[in-house]
Structure 1
Amino acid sequence: MKLWEKGFSTDAKIDQFTVGSDRELDLVIAPYDVKASIAHAQMLGKVGLITSEEAIALEEGLNDIGKQIEEGNFTIEDNFEDVHSKIEYLLTEKLGDTGKKIHAARSRNDQVLVAMHLYLKNELAEISEEIQVLFDLLLSLADRYKASLLPGYTHLQIAMPSSFGLWFSAYAESLIDDLYFVNAAHYITDQNPLGSAAGYGSSFPIDRAYTTEALGFSTLKYNVVAAQMSRGKAEKSTAIALSSVAATLGKLAMDICLYMSQNFDFITFPNELTTGSSIMPHKKNPDVFELIRGKCNKIQGVPNQLALLTTNLPSGYHRELQLTKEIIVPAIQELKACIEMTTFSLKNIIIKEHILEDTKYDYLFSVDTLNDLVLSGVPFRDAYKQMGEAIENGSFVPKRTIKHTHIGSIGNLCLNDIKSKMDLLRMMMRKK
């Protein structure tokens, strides 16, 4: 069944090519299509396009379909083009002519649009919650290990003293930046496109304000052409948010892979969170974090994929827009899995204490030793030269007393300030 059928069939190859993976992907948005259809049916009854009895019957029928979806008993067989045609078929099978009335005053275009907006809005909210859980964990780890020193690197060469507290809280604060992107994507998806039909509105006296409130959108896309143009844009905005989160997780995963290696040996995890080798019995591989790194690298390419797909399309609907689902849906699922596994694993991280007591890290203290000379009255450039000569001739003696007191340094992590920044963002998000 196709919503656009006019009494003739398309070639099987054309059908297979044009439908693509829509049936599988539509199972993801099926609950949202039901929700939007319920609001649409209620609106049709409110404005008198159908009777109140028909509106009630449609709502009851859609609720039954919603239960099938929730229980995992809903399928989209090959003879249906997509979720929309299957739902309309089930309604018609149960309600007869009343079922056929559900499509009045809407197009499959705004059906997809509103279902995707609802789906993206919900997924962004879930991702936001998961990020906040990870943030809280990182901040608690930062507080627990704030006094445990760690080598800092530039160019992968030992540079200056750092700490596990500085490392954990760096990623916590970076997640706040990522949440700004998630929040921005939420505002873009939190606009109701239903009622734009094929992108040019309808001659029916529909009530778009009603469906906006019924579906829990904070506002609507007023201009019907602008509503149609949000297809692809909402996905791309979401992808940019996903990419930002993925960049943070990918960098953290890379640090963990380095720090777990024997050459660094800063951290480890319980055996059950690592994998072994088929021939090397000593191996404890960070496969989880390697996969997080790889998956997050893929996710960072999603905005570009969507940009390439939608660039240079004029206003109005084009079939390429169907392909946005097969890019954005798997990316969302992958990112959520990466956040979940990062949080799960970090709860069990084991850090090594007294790392900097190893003499190979003596030069980490060269800058602090140099700064002490400056504080004693030696001009910086002279102190720098003196320190360089001492390092070169082997007479350098590190001063291991760390006195970093400025905001955001080893000795002043400002964890409460970072938490306050997140609390402010949380308050803003609750007001949405």
Structure 2
Amino acid sequence: MKLWDKGTATHQAIEQFTVGRDREMDLYLAPWDVLGTLAHIRMLQSIGLLTQEELGTLTTELRAIHRNIEAGEFAIEEGIEDVHSQVELMLTRKLGDMGKKVHSGRSRNDQVLVDLKLFIRGELRHLVQDIRMLFNRLIILSEKHRQVLLPGYTHFQVAMPSSFGLWFGAYAESLTDDLQLLLAAYRINDQNPLGSAAGYGSSFPLNRQMTTDLLGFERLNWNVVYAQMGRGKVERTVAFALASLGGTLARLAMDATLYMSQNFGFISFPDELTTGSSIMPHKKNPDVWELIRARGNRLQALPNEIGMLTANLPSGYHRDLQLVKESFIPSFADARACLQMCDLMLENIRVRTDILDDDRYRYLFSVEEVNKEVLSGVPFRDAYKKVGQAIANGQFNPEKTVHHTHEGSIGNPGNDPIAAKMDALLHEFHFERSESAERRLLTE
């Protein structure tokens, strides 16, 4: 079954090539397709294209389909082109001609647009929860280990004292910037395209503000041509935010992989969170962190892939956009899996507290010694030369302590304002509006 079927058979090879993996990807969109249809039929009844009785019957059946989807009992049958066709077929089988009425005033173009936007909104809701979970873990670890010193490096050379408090807290603050980008993407996504049809509107007197309110969108995509142009653009915008998150996770994973190696030995994990070698019995491999690094890097590649798929497309719908779903839709599961595994690993991290007792880190305190000279009245350049000469002559014997008090330093990492920044961003998502709208469509 195809919604565009006019009685002419399509060549099997053409059908297989054009459908591709769409049925597989559309399973992710199924609950949102039903939700969009529930809002659409309420609007159709309000403008006289459905009776009140038809609305009640269709609503009951659509809610039953939604329950089947949630229970994992929904499938797109062989020979059915996509989720939109499957849902309409199920309605028609059960309700006859009444089921054929739900497509009035819309096209598959705006139908998939609204499905994707609802899917993105739902996935961002879950993703933000997982970001908050990892953020909280990092802040707790930063506070717990704020006095534990850690070598800082530049150019992979021992540089200056850092601390585990700063290391954990740095990634916490990085997540706030990632969340800022996700918030911007969320707002761009939170605009209703339903009613734009194939991208040129409809001669039906549609009430697009009504479906906007019913679905819990913040506002409309007003211009119907631009609503269609948003396909691909929204995904690319969200992908940029996911890429930023991927960058944070990949860098954290690289640090952890490096720090748990024998040549560093700064951190360790229980045996059950590492893997072994088939030939070397001493190995404890950081496979989890390496896969987080790889998945994070794949997220960073996502905007480029979507950008290349959509490059130079003119206005209007084009089938190229179908392929965007194949890399974009699974990216949320990848990001969430990485966040959850990061949290699990960090929950069980073991931090070494005596790292700087090793004499190899004695030069780590050279800047501290220069600063002491400056505080006693020696000009900075003279102090720099004095300490440098002591190092060259083998006479450098530093006091291995630090006295950093400024904002964001070892002694004052700024975790409270960083947490306040995170809380302020979380409040701007207004998930309660969309959650309430979805609940009403499915129950009232």
SS at 1:151's partner residue? strand
Range with greater deviation from structure 2 (388-397 or 23-32): 388-397
CA shift, 1:399, in A, is 2.3
Match of 2:375 in 1: 375
Does 2:358 correspond to 1:365?
A: no
**Cα distance in structure 1, aligned partners of 2:89 and 2:272:** 49
Match of 1:38 in 2: 38
**Cα distance in structure 1, aligned partners of 2:239 and 2:283:** 36
1:120-135 equivalence runs, <5 A: 120-135=120-135
Does 2:162 correspond to 1:165?
A: no
CA shift, 1:423, in A, is 2.1
Match of 1:143 in 2: 143
**Cα distance in structure 2, aligned partners of 1:210 and 1:415:** 44
1:34-183 equivalence runs, <5 A: 34-183=34-183
Letter in 2 for 1:362: R
Letter in 1 for 2:267: I
1:236-255 equivalence runs, <5 A: 236-255=236-255
Does 2:263 correspond to 1:259?
A: no
Match of 1:399 in 2: 399
Match of 1:231 in 2: 231
CA shift, 1:98, in A, is 0.4
CA shift, 1:328, in A, is 0.6
Does 2:318 correspond to 1:318?
A: yes
Letter in 2 for 1:122: G
**Unmatched 5+ stretches in structure 1:** none
SS at 1:96's partner residue? helix
CA shift, 1:415, in A, is 1.4
CA shift, 1:430, in A, is 3.7
Range with greater deviation from structure 2 (22-31 or 73-82): 73-82
SS at 2:315's partner residue? coil
Match of 1:301 in 2: 301
**Cα distance in structure 2, aligned partners of 1:62 and 1:377:** 79
1:139-183 Cα deviation digits (max 9, x unpaired): 000000011110000011110000000100010011000000110
1:387-407 Cα deviation digits (max 9, x unpaired): 112111211111222111111
SS at 2:196's partner residue? coil
SS at 2:278's partner residue? coil
**Cα distance in structure 1, aligned partners of 2:406 and 2:148:** 18
SS at 1:158's partner residue? strand
Match of 1:353 in 2: 353
**Cα distance in structure 2, aligned partners of 1:314 and 1:207:** 28
Range with greater deviation from structure 2 (361-370 or 391-400): 391-400
SS at 1:138's partner residue? helix
CA shift, 1:77, in A, is 1.9
**Cα distance in structure 1, aligned partners of 2:12 and 2:120:** 32
SS at 1:301's partner residue? helix
Match of 2:210 in 1: 210
Range with greater deviation from structure 2 (393-402 or 256-265): 393-402
SS at 2:337's partner residue? helix
Alignment root-mean-square deviation, CA: 1.0
**Cα distance in structure 1, aligned partners of 2:240 and 2:190:** 16
SS at 2:158's partner residue? strand
SS at 1:400's partner residue? coil
Letter in 2 for 1:226: Y
**Cα distance in structure 1, aligned partners of 2:329 and 2:394:** 58
Larger relative CO (CA 8 A, sep 6+): 1 or 2? Answer: 2
**Cα distance in structure 2, aligned partners of 1:398 and 1:429:** 50
Match of 2:418 in 1: 418
1:103-155 Cα deviation digits (max 9, x unpaired): 11100000100000000011111111110111111000000001111000001
CA shift, 1:380, in A, is 1.2
SS at 1:429's partner residue? coil
Match of 1:12 in 2: 12
1:323-365 Cα deviation digits (max 9, x unpaired): 1111211111111110111011111100001110110000000
- TM-score, structure 1 normalization: 0.98
Letter in 1 for 2:388: G
**Cα distance in structure 2, aligned partners of 1:147 and 1:68:** 53
**Cα distance in structure 1, aligned partners of 2:330 and 2:413:** 37
Give the share of equivalent positions with the same residue, in percent: 57
**Cα distance in structure 2, aligned partners of 1:415 and 1:388:** 35
**Cα distance in structure 2, aligned partners of 1:425 and 1:173:** 12
Letter in 1 for 2:274: T
1:179-214 Cα deviation digits (max 9, x unpaired): 001101110111110000000000001111111111
SS at 2:152's partner residue? strand
**Cα distance in structure 2, aligned partners of 1:381 and 1:26:** 66
Letter in 2 for 1:320: D
SS at 2:281's partner residue? coil
**Cα distance in structure 2, aligned partners of 1:399 and 1:372:** 11
1:309-328 Cα deviation digits (max 9, x unpaired): 11100000000011111121
**Cα distance in structure 2, aligned partners of 1:276 and 1:207:** 61
Does 2:338 correspond to 1:343?
A: no
CA shift, 1:381, in A, is 1.2
Match of 1:25 in 2: 25
**Cα distance in structure 2, aligned partners of 1:17 and 1:271:** 47
**Cα distance in structure 1, aligned partners of 2:237 and 2:123:** 13
Letter in 1 for 2:48: G
Range with greater deviation from structure 2 (410-419 or 180-189): 410-419
CA shift, 1:428, in A, is 2.6
Letter in 2 for 1:92: T
CA shift, 1:288, in A, is 0.2
SS at 2:150's partner residue? strand
SS at 1:150's partner residue? strand
Letter in 1 for 2:310: T
Range with greater deviation from structure 2 (325-334 or 176-185): 325-334
Letter in 1 for 2:181: F
- TM-score, structure 2 normalization: 0.96
SS at 2:151's partner residue? strand
